A and B are shown apart, each in its own frame.
Chain A
């Protein structure tokens, strides 16, 4: 008798406690691939998280886990977030695609948002930014600025997002400088400052005087600064601390408006699955201040290119473009469709080497 009463009271107390929690706040979880202090990719996602907190104040609670490896461990982290009552979970790296889908199946009432992937479900949306538009501008500047005609490119993983960036940068570098060559190194990591610095040093030793990076830390810029006479670009974040040194411009990811909109949708109950792929025009991709190291004429051209990309008047992949093997891809004036871009797994003509398969 006494025991059952105790149990009942406990149950009631628990019920009260959980319902009190559930009513109050919308809980939003973020899964990060690197540390929030990486100065690049994860740093910007975290800025988006802070913007959500600033926007909704007490009505929202955010949680995040950083340095989550892509793979089985990610599933564990997401499951734990869902069990702790998250209503909306942002998984912010390409490698979280399958884990997100798997966990989403188990928690039909939790909404998931996966960055840079392509698999959706009833409760899984995908979102990404058209970074390749920013790459076009980088390519334009790089092609104009290089003196050795060798541009070094640090790739992370051979996935469509990275390959798009390489192609876009290359096409626009070649346009202004037909002799330009790309040397590509795959780091097989999103975040490892020592390795990224090594890769940058190797590229510089082999003659590159412009370094483009698709990894998340500022280490390649630090290596470029140490080498002197080498320029680079901020990746994912402005990396403005290198403005006096090698950084001549940057691609900035701005996730805040999207994160706020999606959190709002969950609060209002209007959340529905969708695929978002926004570029410079929608403000998801920003171009950081172009420094005075870049000649004024090149800067003006770059800004004009930016405006054309933003208004949609020019597409970064406009034909004629051939694939690496010489076979035609886009005819004169034709632009690439999103399906091909999303799954891009080939280099364009002129790039050397093979994409790791």
Chain B
């Protein structure tokens, strides 16, 4: 065993990178679910975002445009879900699952000509003094902008939900859509916007995998990250900061266990491999022992006539 081979600064830095895709997708899904909609299509929207972002980056050569197109792609797929569930009142669970299958198929179709290409690298933050700090520089100040964007997004979602009128309305729609409707709020419109936001975030998360974390396009490359984001929202009791904590825990333990393996730590590999899932679930379940519960209208279909 040689723990000195593990560099804590690099470990923490890769934690942030490993956590970002599920963090972005998770915070988007949180907003969707707080509005009372259960969208199980996160995986499909992520992979669509991954290929849209990848294609745009290859074509334009600008990762920033890539991320914008990834958000648009994810939102586009989410719009399909919104049409199905909000206007034609289709079952949300079935529509969400269908969205995942559709997204996986669509992305491999779109990606046919993009296998094996290398995207231009996403620029990393380089602040003259801060990035050169011995430990903090590596951990905090030398990432690409999406890492900071993800954290900022969590803070913004938290603040909007807690302190603003828009957040209050969104939560009202999610808790009791009939009451919200009776008060004159446009339930369907609010939900569609939330769904689009969720799709855009999932798309960004997917693009982060194809543009930064891997970086290349491979069919089915999200490999279940969308489902993890979905589970994260539930275990985080629909609270933004807990999604952040959960994503960091999951990303952190994933990277840590790989480091342990490479350093030859004498813990059976099976335990190391399952540890990210177990530790994340245990911590978040213990934290959700308070009175937190799901939004009351989650997954229920709303029509103004009923």
B255 in the interface, Cβ–Cβ < 8 Å? yes
Within 8 A of B (CB), among A254-308: none
Interface size of A by CB at 8 A reads 45
| Contact among B111, B213, B262, B270 for A206, CB-based, below 8 A | B262
Closest B residue, CB atoms, query A353: B264
B261 and A184 contact, CB distance less than 8 A = yes
B279 in the interface, Cβ–Cβ < 8 Å? no
B223 in the interface, Cβ–Cβ < 8 Å? yes
Which residues on the A side are within 8 Å of B259 (C-beta)? 202, 205-206
B179 in the interface, Cβ–Cβ < 8 Å? no
A137 in the interface, Cβ–Cβ < 8 Å? no
Chain A's nearest CB lies how many Å from the CB of B234? 22
Within 8 A of B (CB), among A196-247: 197-199, 201-203, 205-207, 217-219, 222-223, 225-226, 239, 241-242, 245
| Contact among B117, B218, B262, B273 for A37, CB-based, below 8 A | B218
CA separation between A239 and B118, bound complex, in Å? 13
Which residues on the B side are within 8 Å of A186 (C-beta)? 261, 269, 273
CA separation between A212 and B39, bound complex, in Å? 39
**Which of B2-10, B155-163, B189-197, B236-244 forms part of the interface with chain A?**
B2-10
Closest A residue, CB atoms, query B271: A356
| Contact among A67, A185, A226, A245 for B220, CB-based, below 8 A | A67
CA separation between A217 and B268, bound complex, in Å? 25
A193 in the interface, Cβ–Cβ < 8 Å? yes
A352 and B214 contact, CB distance less than 8 A = no
CA separation between A225 and B254, bound complex, in Å? 22
A85 in the interface, Cβ–Cβ < 8 Å? no
A188 in the interface, Cβ–Cβ < 8 Å? yes
Chain A's nearest CB lies how many Å from the CB of B276? 10
Against B, the Cβ 8 Å flags (1 = close, 0 = not) of A171-197 are 000000000000111101101111101
A36 and B223 contact, CB distance less than 8 A = no
Against A, the Cβ 8 Å flags (1 = close, 0 = not) of B1-37 are 0000111001000100010010000000000000000
B268 and A194 contact, CB distance less than 8 A = no
Chain A's nearest CB lies how many Å from the CB of B139? 14
Which residues on the A side are within 8 Å of B100 (C-beta)? none
B115 in the interface, Cβ–Cβ < 8 Å? yes
CA separation between A194 and B273, bound complex, in Å? 15
Which residues on the A side are within 8 Å of B221 (C-beta)? 193-194, 217, 219
Within 8 A of A (CB), among B67-99: none
B115 and A222 contact, CB distance less than 8 A = no
CA separation between A184 and B225, bound complex, in Å? 24
CA separation between A357 and B273, bound complex, in Å? 13
Knowing A202-B14, A356-B270 are in contact, say whether A35-B116 is a contact too (CB < 8 A): no
Within 8 A of B (CB), among A316-357: 352-354, 356-357
CA separation between A158 and B262, bound complex, in Å? 15
Give B residues with C-beta under 8 Å from A: 5-7, 10, 14, 18, 21, 108, 111-112, 115-118, 121, 209, 213-216, 218-225, 254-255, 258-259, 261-264, 266, 268-270, 273
Give A residues with C-beta under 8 Å from B: 34-39, 67, 152, 158, 183-186, 188-189, 191-195, 197-199, 201-203, 205-207, 217-219, 222-223, 225-226, 239, 241-242, 245, 352-354, 356-357
Please name 13 further chain A to chain B contacts, defined as beta carbons within 8 Å, in addition to the given A36-B219, A37-B115, A219-B218, sorted by A numbering.
Answer: A35-B218, A35-B220, A183-B263, A184-B261, A185-B258, A188-B269, A192-B223, A194-B21, A194-B221, A222-B214, A226-B215, A245-B118, A356-B269
